[in-house]
Amino acid sequence: MTADFDFIIAGGLLITTILSAKSLTIASGGTSGCLLANRLANAATRPSVLLIEAGGEAIGDTIRPPFYRFMNAFMRPDLDHGYSTTKQPLLNDRSIRYIRGKALGGSSVLNFMAYVYGSGEDYNRWGELVGDDSWRWEKTKELFKRIENYNTTAASSYPQYANPSAAEHGQKGLVNVSLPPVLEKGVAIALDAMDKFGIGPRNLDLNSGDPVGVGIFPSSYGGDGRTTSAIAHLANTPDNLTIWSNSTVSRFILDGKKVLGVELVDGRQAMSKKDVILSAGAFDSPKLLLLNGIGPADELGAHGINVVHDLPGVGKNLQDHMLVFLTIEVDPSLTEKDAFESDAAKIAQAQEQWLKDRTGPFTLHNATLFGGFPKLPRLAESAEFKALDKGLQAHLSKPTVPSYEIAGSAPIFPLGFQLAAGSASLTLVAFLMNPLSQGEVTLRSADHHDAPVIDPKYMEHPYDRKSMLEAIREVVTYIRESELKKYFKRFIYGPASTSDEDIQEFMKEALDTVWHANGTVKMGKPEDPNACVSPDFRVYGMEGLRVVDMSVSPLTPNNHTQTTAYLVGQKAADTIIAEYQL
């Protein structure tokens, strides 16, 4: 079967196809792709849209409740592509499991629902790096307003911890964003201790463009629980939007360097009169480009792939946030979460209540994510900082650019650890921000069935190692010396001490990914030898081909990247609608 379209938005394993009198095809039913399909299908000219996704609909009792926010990534392998990194030499030669959503909505089905923009300076630097001021903060913050339905009143019972202004956020978008209506027990104690200890000043709106400080994280949920990109953007499907799920793209249909369409593994074809838009994410977008002869010529030749266009940056510039879990046993008076999670009868009752009316304990436990984005001024005195490019030093020194992230209310770690009866735990997470190590995505073979080779080269950059070490040291010191020490009993998972040597050994054992991969089809200026796409998402050297997902990001923003993925989709939609007068 062959169908003609104006535009194709396609992913390596995911494709969204847009058909119309203006003929659009989109590939990928992920975070960016679902939003893009929605915006294009609802454009004034009403182009017909076919969305093609490798997975199916994400269903089941664990998808929506806030209680399961951390668990789907580990409990639902049916919704995951099952990727892993290569062995990482600086992490005890560990291969890191890399979760990627395989369902309509992509990784928004499995993420931890944190909804934070990052620093406004991230987007200012984005604009500088790609040579386009429309990416600057004053422009992007208006795009965020169009994406979100931001409930700023949910925090009215604790304005001393969160108090975002409705005027600064959007209420007409489709992605539900909220703060918990009630704080979990112990959150206020831990936040007050952070404030007094100096982890950061109180920040009443982490999405103001200045994330530095501590407070309550907004999350991508509403009264019905988790909002995925599919729930937000495909719930009320217009008649000009068709969805093909459980379908896989195998190749581009090419005429020289012009992309005419795509072919699926089952033989179906979609032809594009305008553009093919690749939206498969930081691993599968470069994979599909490489399989189709677009990428570094030497790598393609090694797999016997005909070189269509020698584009050296494809698959390079892979960046990612890293994290480490720090779990402590605490006095049971601090938190009620462990007592609830260890009581099967209470969980069953809570499940029944949630299914009945979306209320009860499933809206409380794990609904609160607290912490923030501290700054470590002492990093600027380190040899690792002083060795950086002056422009990068200037960016990292700006007052609204944090050094690391701290978050509380995470699950007990190691996963499956059994507390003694009557005991309680608290898990804090330290995250590396502004990563500088650069890895790569390459092909395993010329067979599209094979997973890509993912080598993030974690911690290869000296500044990453220094930043992560200092972040862990500060969080461990906070646990032991702040007012939280009244509740502290022992470390379940953490370094033996705060010495450099003990933290470094712990990092080798404990560092893991936050699943924020980006940059592998980097946006940049034409003169940048590693740039793959222009600011309007067009692939350099090719005709009729765009990329719209986190693979285009020229830097790793100081956030949890689902928000930036939505931003990329919105920005691309505006660009395409304007260009083709849709």
Catalytic positions? 516, 560
**Residue 262 is labelled as binding a ligand:** no
**Residue 249 is labelled as binding a ligand:** yes
Selection from 119, 103, 123, 117 nearest residue 34 by Cα: 103
**Residue 448 is labelled as binding a ligand:** no
Helices (H), 244-313: 281-291, 297-302
b/e 423-449 (16+ beta carbons within 10 angstroms → b): bbbbbbbbbbbbbbbbbbbbbeeeebe
Write the DSSP assignment of 158-226 as a string of letters: -TTT----GGGS-SSSSEEEE--SSPPTTHHHHHHHHHHHTS--B-S-TTSS--BEEEE--BSEETTEE
Contact 258, 544 (CB under 8 A): yes
Distance CA(464)–CA(563), nearest Å, equals: 23
Distance CA(83)–CA(444), nearest Å, equals: 13
Structure tokens at 284: 């599968």
Contact 173, 145 (CB under 8 A): yes
Contact 354, 346 (CB under 8 A): no
Sign of the Cα torsion 446, 451, 456, 457 reads: negative
**Residue 31 is labelled as binding a ligand:** yes
Query: What are the CA-CA distances from residue 152 to residues 163, 183, 549, 560 (Å)?
Result: 7, 15, 28, 19
Omega before 89 cis (within 30°)?
Answer: no
Distance CA(200)–CA(215), nearest Å, equals: 9
Contact 107, 31 (CB under 8 A): yes
SS3 assignment, position 73? helix
Annotated binding site for FAD: 31-32, 249, 515-516
Annotated binding site: 31-32, 249, 515-516
